[in-house]
Amino acid sequence: MDDLEVRRLPGPLPQLFADDDVERTLPVTLPPGDIVWPDPGFPQRQLLERPAFWLSDDPVNGELWSALRAGHAESGLWPVLLDETDQPWAAGQVAPEPIDEIGKYHSGAFMSEVWADWIEHADEDEHDDLAPFGRHCPGPAPAGVPLDDPGAVADRYARTLAHRGLSLGLAAVERGADAIAVIGWQGALNHNEWTAPMSAVVRGWEDRFGARVVAMGFNTLELSVAAPPVTVRHAVHVAAEHWAFCPDILFQGPGTLAGYAEEIRGKTHWSFWWD
């Protein structure tokens, strides 16, 4: 690697970090882009003194995403492909949340709360939708067995998604799951008011399933998965977690955990969307 391939963070990128005295480097030259500040008129959990993320002016290819993913440890910036089909990210319609908030949530507790709320409001005959668990939340599923390196799986999925013509976002985070909260993504607003607990859930999937945040849209989230469930029983348990995270994928999809489990069994990417 020659000297031109390793560069200090250029332009306004250091503004994304609370500590501007730490030396960070990028493995590649970025395309034109700029930092994005939250719209002050958009409801915020708290006012931040830093921009939310950096955004490219134009779509990027999967190779750039992969290079930035590989250089994350040196740059402190996690790459996210951003779909601007429904809403331009540059408009700042985001509500960033502090990384410290994520640690206040536990994915198992979040799942239990969603489950309990559904049981309270669901009719008795609707409990079969969540068979074999029904009224009883099973808690987080056991970890999967890795099929490949998480980074390699993420790179392949990024190359696939990049063909959609997606822009590049960069978030100042130590792990990809935290980008959901730091960017201020509002895709699950109709399901959950805050994004910090959503990041907490994805942290758990990073640890147990080798999941990596690859892309976001106005109301979508794309994860690569290096250790997916491969047995029917395990897939149904994971499906229960997915339902708590994103009920629409079940109730506006196959309708049962068993049906959805077949869709994700052995799959190396998980796609979520909220209505």
The whole-number pLDDT of residue 203 equals 98
Instruction: List, as one string, the DSSP characters of 240-265.
Output: HHHHHH-THHHHTTTSSHHHHHHHHT
What are the tens digits of pLDDT across the range 153-186?
Answer: 999 999 999 999 999 999 999 999 999 999 999 8
Is 64 strand, coil or helix? Answer: helix
Average pLDDT, stretch 189-209? 91
pLDDT(188) > 60: yes
Residues sharing a CB contact under 8 Å with residue 19, sequence separation 6 or more, in sequence order: none
Given a cut of 50, whether residue 150 has pLDDT beyond it is yes
Q: What pLDDT score was predicted for residue 126?
A: 62
How confident is the model at residue 2, as a pLDDT?
42
Q: Which band of pLDDT confidence, cut at 50, 70 and 90, is reported for residue 5?
A: very low
The b-or-e profile of 55-67 (16+ CB within 10 A means b, else e) is bbeebbebebbbe
Question: Taking residues 3-11, what's their average pLDDT?
Answer: 64
Question: If you average pLDDT over residues 108-133, what whole number do you get?
Answer: 84
| Residues linked to residue 270 through DSSP beta bridges, in sequence order | 223
pLDDT above 70 covers what percent of the chain?
Answer: 93
Work out the angle at residue 135's Cα, subtended by the Cα atoms of residues 133 and 136, and round it to the nearest 5 degrees. Answer: 60
Place of tokens 């993420």: 154
d(CA 272, CA 236): 16
Q: What is the model's pLDDT at position 125?
A: 63
Is the pLDDT at 20 greater than 60? The verdict is yes
The pLDDT-based confidence of 121 (bands split at 50, 70, 90) is: confident
User: Would you place residue 46 in the very low, low, confident or very high pLDDT band (cuts 50, 70, 90)?
Assistant: low
